[in-house]
């Protein structure tokens, strides 16, 4: 890439060229380790099974500001549908195309260049700066950030503030910052019937008919109304499967997957209890397995939120809006430690899509916002 582009754009380009589809880091963290080492960071690898994790820190005293992110990306999808090769970043009319440009290698590059400029100006800054980078955010998320947090907690290494670089913006950089996320509760439900011939339904028990009544009722429950920080809890069926493939056979069971995205107005245990009570009410024979992906968290107004608001206003001239909408992020593993957690990154319009992209000017704006936050929180 030409040196005429900014340091942030050049580093994003270098990261995109590493085809780090989950859980393969593909050397991204080696590049970050080298870059951070040049400005005084000590790096530690915390790898678990096939997942690569990096914990890099500069300084040993509190307060600790950590930048959190992931080097893994989702699969490209059909490559022939991309206008340009997904792992050969291409800039057209000021827009960089490539897998991971927005989610979230651009943010990671902006983290690094912001720190480089900040440390050049404040080599003896107060407190500490750290990076928590994983290659397991887009995958199962069981050997990444959650495992690193377990290690840090065991040795009493606490973050005061954590800035997650997830793409939070919608129309312009910094218009939305996530100061919390809804909880996510998943279930795998099997409703059992009795297989038989369609001509003799009285000798069988159709689990689809049985399931539909209960699922229809679940789909129409108003779980809560949300609150000033969170939208209302939602219930969504994500998979429904039954049958032998034959038109003349009543199936013996139906498998259903569903998800709750829930507010702080209800707990995951309360949601489970309501579902179980409804299944029992319909006299169903069933098996159900629950998986809690993350509990809801909220970072109230405080130093990190104020620093972000001030930085965005100072760099863009525009105010920002706090939001808890959207999916889950690794912030759900960090918030329970007591850290203030905030998500701030580029536009999310193209994430996970064919021709994912980011405006290169936005990367520089984002890097400037991160630097301004460092100035407010850690400058002497």
Q: What are the catalytic residues?
A: 72, 137
Q: Return the bridge partners of 26, or none.
A: none
Q: Which residues contact 372 (CB under 8 A, 6 or more apart)?
A: 307, 310, 311, 314, 315
Q: Which residue has the tokens 């400037």?
A: 368
Q: What is the distance between the alpha carbons of residues 253 and 243, in angstroms, rounded to a whole number? A: 8
Q: What is the distance between the alpha carbons of residues 259 and 234, in angstroms, rounded to a whole number? A: 8
Closest CA to 178 of 374, 345, 366: 345
Please give the structure tokens belonging to residue 221.
């429950």
Using DSSP bridges, classify how beta strands 183-192 and 285-294 pair: parallel, antiparallel or unpaired: antiparallel
Q: Is 95 helix (H, G, I), strand (E, B) or coil?
A: strand
Q: What is the distance between the alpha carbons of residues 322 and 332, in angstroms, rounded to a whole number? A: 17
Closest CA to 366 of 302, 297, 299, 320: 320
Q: What is the distance between the alpha carbons of residues 59 and 130, in angstroms, rounded to a whole number? A: 9
């Amino acid at each position: 890439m030409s040196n005429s582009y900014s340091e942030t754009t050049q580093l994003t380009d270098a990261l995109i060229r590493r085809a780090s589809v989950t859980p393969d880091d593909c050397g991204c963290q080696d590049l970050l380790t080298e870059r951070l080492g040049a400005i005084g960071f000590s790096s530690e690898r915390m790898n678990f099974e096939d997942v690569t994790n990096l914990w890099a820190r500069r300084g040993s005293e509190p307060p600790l500001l950590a930048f959190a992110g992931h080097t893994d990306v989702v699969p490209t999808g059909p490559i022939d549908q991309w206008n340009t090769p997904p792992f050969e970043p291409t800039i057209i009319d000021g827009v960089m195309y490539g897998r991971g440009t927005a989610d979230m290698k651009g943010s990671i590059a902006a983290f690094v260049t912001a720190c480089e400029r900040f440390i050049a100006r404040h080599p003896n800054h107060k407190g500490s700066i750290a990076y928590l980078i994983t290659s397991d955010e887009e995958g199962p998320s069981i050997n990444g950030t959650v495992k690193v947090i377990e290690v840090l907690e065991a040795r009493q290494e606490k973050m005061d503030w954590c800035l997650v670089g997830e793409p939070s913006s919608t129309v312009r950089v910094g218009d939305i910052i996530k100061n919390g996320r809804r909880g996510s509760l998943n279930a795998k439900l099997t409703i059992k019937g009795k297989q038989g011939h369609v001509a003799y339904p009285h000798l069988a028990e159709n689990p689809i008919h049985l399931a539909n009544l209960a699922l229809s009722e679940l789909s129409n429950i108003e779980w809560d109304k949300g609150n000033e920080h969170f939208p209302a809890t939602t219930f969504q069926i994500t998979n429904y499967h039954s049958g032998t493939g034959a038109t003349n056979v009543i199936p013996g069971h139906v498998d259903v997957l569903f998800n709750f995205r829930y507010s702080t107005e209800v707990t995951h245990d309360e949601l489970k209890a309501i579902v179980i009570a409804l299944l029992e009410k319909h006299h169903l024979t069933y098996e159900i397995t629950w998986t809690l992906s993350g509990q809801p968290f909220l970072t109230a107004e405080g130093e990190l939120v104020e620093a972000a608001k001030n930085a965005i206003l100072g760099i863009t001239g525009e105010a920002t809006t706090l939001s808890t909408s959207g999916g889950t992020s690794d912030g759900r593993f960090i918030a329970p430690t007591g850290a203030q957690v905030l998500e701030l990154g580029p536009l999310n319009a193209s994430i996970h899509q064919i021709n994912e992209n980011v405006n290169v000017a936005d990367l520089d704006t984002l890097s400037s916002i991160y630097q301004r936050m460092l100035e407010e929180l850690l400058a002497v």
